[in-house]
Chains A and B, each alone.
Chain A
Amino acid sequence: MGTVISNERLADNVYHLRVSGDYGGETGQFYMLRAWGAYPVLSRPLSIHQVEDDGIEFLYHVVGEGTELFSQLTPGDSINLEGPFGSGFPAVTGRVALVGGGIGIAPLLYCAREIPGCDVYLGFSREPFRTEEFRPYAAKLTVDVGGLILDNVDFAEYDHIFVCGPHPMLKAAQLKGIAAATSGSPVNVYLSLENRMACGIGACLVCSVSCKDGQRKACADGPVFLAEEVVFHD
C-alpha cells in the first residue's frame, strides 16, 4: 500500500501521480494500481513514468471509471500498487530515438533518463505536457502539437526506436521500420502496447497479442515488443 504524495492535473484529463514508498522497476514495466475496494473489479495497469528514491510516478489519462477515481486522489490517500510487471524496453546502445504520442509519453521519461543522449519526439493532439522534463536527458527534443509526430522521425538515422502511443501510431511505426529496413537502414523498432488487462501477470490471457510466432501476453511477454513480431488485425 502506497501513499499519494501528489496528483496534479497537467492537461485535459491528464494527471501526474506521485506515490511514496520503496518501488522499483525497469524502463517500460508497469504496475497494477487500485485505489478502491471491490468496484471497479479490475486494477488498472499504468506504466512507470519515473522511479525516485522516495517513490514512484505515473502519468494517466482519464478514460473510464478507474482512472476517474484516480483523478480524485489527494495527498495522503492510500493506493494499492502491485508490480513491477512485464518486460520493458531492452538495454541498448547506439543511436536511439524515443517517440511518444499523447499519454504514450508516460514510459519514455524513465527511458530518457536511462539512455542519455537519445533523441526524443513527443506528439500531442492538443495540449502538450511534461515535455520540459525530457530536456535534461535528450540530445534533441522535438515537440509536435496537432500533427503526426512520426513524420518528424527519420528512421534511417537510428539503430533503435522506442515507440509508445495510440494504436494507429504503433502500426505506422511498424510500417516505417519495415520500410527503413527494406531500403537498407535496419532499425530495431520497439512498441509498447496498451492492452486491456485483468490479472497483469500472465494468467488470464485477456491481453493476448497476436505475434508472428503465435499468441503472446502483453502483461508478461510485453508490454514492449519488437515491432516486426506484432501482427495487427485492424
Chain B
Amino acid sequence: MIKIGDSSSKNAELDLSTRIAGVTFKNPIVMASGTFGFGKEYAKYYDVNELGGISGKGLTLQAKAGNQGTRVYETASGMLNSVGLENPGVSAFLEKECAYWETLDTARIVNLGGNTFEDYVTGAELIQKDADARGSKAVDMIELNISCPNVKEGGIAFGIRTCDARELVRAVRRATSLPLSVKLSPNAEDIADMALMCQEEGADAVSLINTISGMKIDVRRRRSVFNNLYAGLSGPAIKPIALRMVHQVAKRVDIPVIGMGGISSATDIVEFIMAGAAVVQVGTYNFMNMRAGQDLLRGLREFMIEENIASLDEIRGIV
C-alpha cells in the first residue's frame, strides 16, 4: 500500500480541503462516476481514503445490463463510451456495497440515474430510507445524473431542457434530505440556466460536465461502431469545453460547482479551481494511470508549494 500523503512539515501546512453542504472533502480530488466502480477495485493499488471523494458507479432503481456491442472506442485524446449504465440497481448497492462504503474515510457520493421520473424519485427515497435506518453513515451525497447520453429513456432526456429537468430536481429534492448535487450535461440547451434552475430547486451543488455526445463510424462496415449510434466523449479532448462551462456556471450560481472533464494533471485541477470549481472529478484519467488519485494529489501539493499557495481558497474562482 502506497500512502499518498506527504508528511513533511511544509506539506502539512497546505490546506486542500473544502466543504460542500456540510460534507468535508479533504482535498479536491474526487473520482468520477463510472470510472471507479465503488472504490474497491482501485483500493488494491493505493489508499483511496486519501482521496477527496468517490462518486460510485451510476445506479438506477432496477439493475441494468447496459448496452450490447462495442462499449468503448478511442478518439484523439479521448474515448467514446457506450456502457449504458450497467449497474446492480439501488437496492443491491445498499445491501452489498454500503457496508464497504461505511468503512471509507472519504466523501461518498451515490450517482443516481433513472429511466423514468418515478425511478429517480423512488431511488432517492430508498437511499434516504437506508441512510435513516443505518447506524453509521455510508452515503454523504447524492449526485443526480440527468445527463447520461447512453441510455435511451431518461438520462439525458431530462438533461437537455431546463423546464424538463426542473420538475425532476424538485421531486428528488423533496425525496431526500441528503446533500444533493445535480450532474449536468454539456448537451443542455443552456448549461448555466440549467445550473441556476438546480440552485432554485434546492440543489446543494452542481456537477459538470458529463460526457459530450459523439459518434464514430466504421467506414468499411458503413455503420456506427455503437449499437446506440452515439456515445459519450470523455478524456483530455473535452477539457477546454468543460473548463469553459465550469467557468460560466460558477459565475452564475452561488452553490458550489463540482468540475470535471478531461482532467489528467495537477495543473488541470488548478485550472478548474481557478475557473471556480469547489472540487473536481477525475474520470478517464483513471484508465490512463491506475494510480491517478495518488499521483494527482502529489502533483497538486508540489504545485502549491512551488507557487506558494497555502490554501486552494486563494485561487478558487480567481479567473
Residues of A within 8 A of B (CB): 32, 38-43, 64-65, 82, 196-208, 210, 214-215, 220, 233
Contact = CB atoms under 8 A, between A and B. Distances in A.
Interface stretch (B179-187, B203-211, B212-220, B281-289): B281-289
A196 B72 contact: yes
Contact of B74 (A65, A199, A220): A65
B65 A215 contact: yes
B288 A206 contact: no
17 contacts: A32-B290, A38-B288, A39-B77, A41-B77, A41-B79, A41-B288, A42-B72, A43-B288, A196-B73, A197-B72, A203-B36, A203-B41, A203-B286, A204-B37, A204-B83, A206-B71, A208-B66
Interface of chain B, helix or strand or loop or mixed? loop
A83 to B, nearest CB: 10
B75 to A, nearest CB: 8
Scoring A64, A65, A199, A214 by chain B CB atoms within 10 A of each residue's CB, the highest score goes to A199
A212 B70 CA distance: 20
B176 interface: no
Contacts, number: 88
Contacts of A40: 74
Interface residues of B, number: 33
A43 B287 contact: yes
Scoring A42, A64, A197, A205 by chain B CB atoms within 10 A of each residue's CB, the highest score goes to A205
A39 B75 CA distance: 9
Contacts of A43: 287-288
Nearest to A40: B74
Given A41-B235, A41-B287, A206-B81, A201 B74 contact: no
Given A41-B284, A198-B287, A199-B41, 17 more contacts: A38-B264, A39-B77, A40-B74, A43-B287, A64-B74, A196-B71, A199-B286, A201-B44, A202-B37, A203-B35, A204-B34, A205-B57, A206-B81, A210-B65, A214-B63, A215-B65, A215-B86
B77 A198 contact: no
Contact of B71 (A41, A200, A203, A208): A208
Given A38-B264, A196-B71, A202 B41 contact: yes
Scoring B76, B81, B235, B288 by chain A CB atoms within 10 A of each residue's CB, the highest score goes to B288
B317 interface: no
A205 B56 CA distance: 13
